[in-house]
Amino acid sequence: MRTILSGICLFIATIAFAQRECASPAYIDQLKSVDPSFTAKINEIENFVRRQKTARELEQAAPNVIVIPVVVHVLYKTPAQNISDEQIKSQIDALNRDFRRRNADTSNTPVRFKSLAADVQIEFALATADPKGRATTGIVRKATSVTRWNSDDKIKFSSQGGDDAWDSRYYLNFWVGDLGTLLGYSSQPGTAAEKDGVVINYTAFGTINVNAPYNLGRTATHEVGHWLGLRHIWGESYCGDDFVDDTPKQGNFTTGCPNTFRSSCGNGEMGDMYMNYMDFTNDACMNLFTNGQKQRMLSFFKESGARNLLLSSKGLNKPWLAESPVEMPVKTAFKFYPNPTSGELILDFEYNADWIGKSVSIVNINGTVVSKNQINSKMQQLNLSQLAPGMYFIQAENGMQKLRAKFIKL
């Protein structure tokens, strides 16, 4: 079974990905119980959206096309999870086709909905400058010891084996890793900055090396819709409200790939818009956002809107800062002190949080491991008072990188 809890929903799927079921109410309740201020923030944002002007005025106030800088954090334990640049770029291309309504399957939009279908005028591009102004491909790759991620946001933190977000006011962060049967989930406007972004399974990211029925990059299209403030088309409850005027009321989510007229909630001749990107149909059966959904997404870019600062992002500018070895030490470097030591040794992994969770060994001059400890923090303290005086080596390995350094025990 596949569940989407994105910002308010996430995807949980069976191996066959046969159907989906939304657990968003429970997720929202959890967020409220953990952080009551989150509810107030959501209400504040919704009030802001309601105050916005008409779609025509929104379109005139916004740039002709909004281009959002993207950074993709690839967290991998196996070579297969370290997806190629080509696969990543295929996802960016898919997002641009869907949001600009340049997807080939626009012809599948039913006649009754064609006048509602929108070119959202939002595009996505891999960042060319990182938050410090250094050159970047917009792709960050990190080896990890984590076997499988889930929806607890650990993938978003270096201290948990993941990778910290780039400033989410100015970048759309994607995290890609092995989520098992979880396809992905997203934050929504108002989420804490360090958790703001979209998480996608490496098996569902892009259109290369991805299996049907979710092989057209539309897991990300759906999740980015949530990231830009859209709700599911049925409004999270039976005949609920998705806060969009031109999407027909709909009884529930739709599974599979229907090809016949369906009607619910008294929506009459319009019927269910199950081909909308915010339903649960297969990728091949999704093909539109509506003008109303476009209006809602663009409203977040208005002055004081939750996504407004993206308009002033420098993430797509020419890099303005040269690479600095002082600011960005090489990944295999680490500090340790004091040396010599009388019994306590501090390992400093300030720039190497991806080592957290690994093991570090102390080896004597004969090559015998005399102590082994797990790295639990960026500042790891080792008690070596039991060691005899002499020369020793610190050793650690994660399959891709090795650490080795000598120290003296007094």
- Candidates 86, 223, 344, 397; catalytic one: 223
CA 279, CA 273: separation in Å to the nearest integer?
Answer: 8
CA 117, CA 275: separation in Å to the nearest integer?
Answer: 11
- Strand 379-383 with 390-397, pairing: unpaired
Contact 360, 372 (CB under 8 A): yes
Name the token pair of 20. 């989906």
| Structure-token match 């490496």, residue found | 202
- DSSP, res 346: E
For the chain, count helices (H), then strands (E): 7, 13
Per the rule left: phi > 0, alpha: psi between -120 and 50, beta: everything else, 5 is beta
CA 272, CA 294: separation in Å to the nearest integer?
Answer: 19
Active site residue 236: no
Name the token pair of 280. 């649960």
Contact 185, 6 (CB under 8 A): yes
Contact 69, 123 (CB under 8 A): no
How far from 24 is each of 8, 10, 15, 30, 127, CA to CA, in Å?
5, 8, 21, 10, 31
CA 80 to chain centre: 19
For 148, counting Cβ atoms within 10 Å of its Cβ (0-12 exposed, 13-18 middle, 19+ buried), the class is exposed
Active site residues: 223
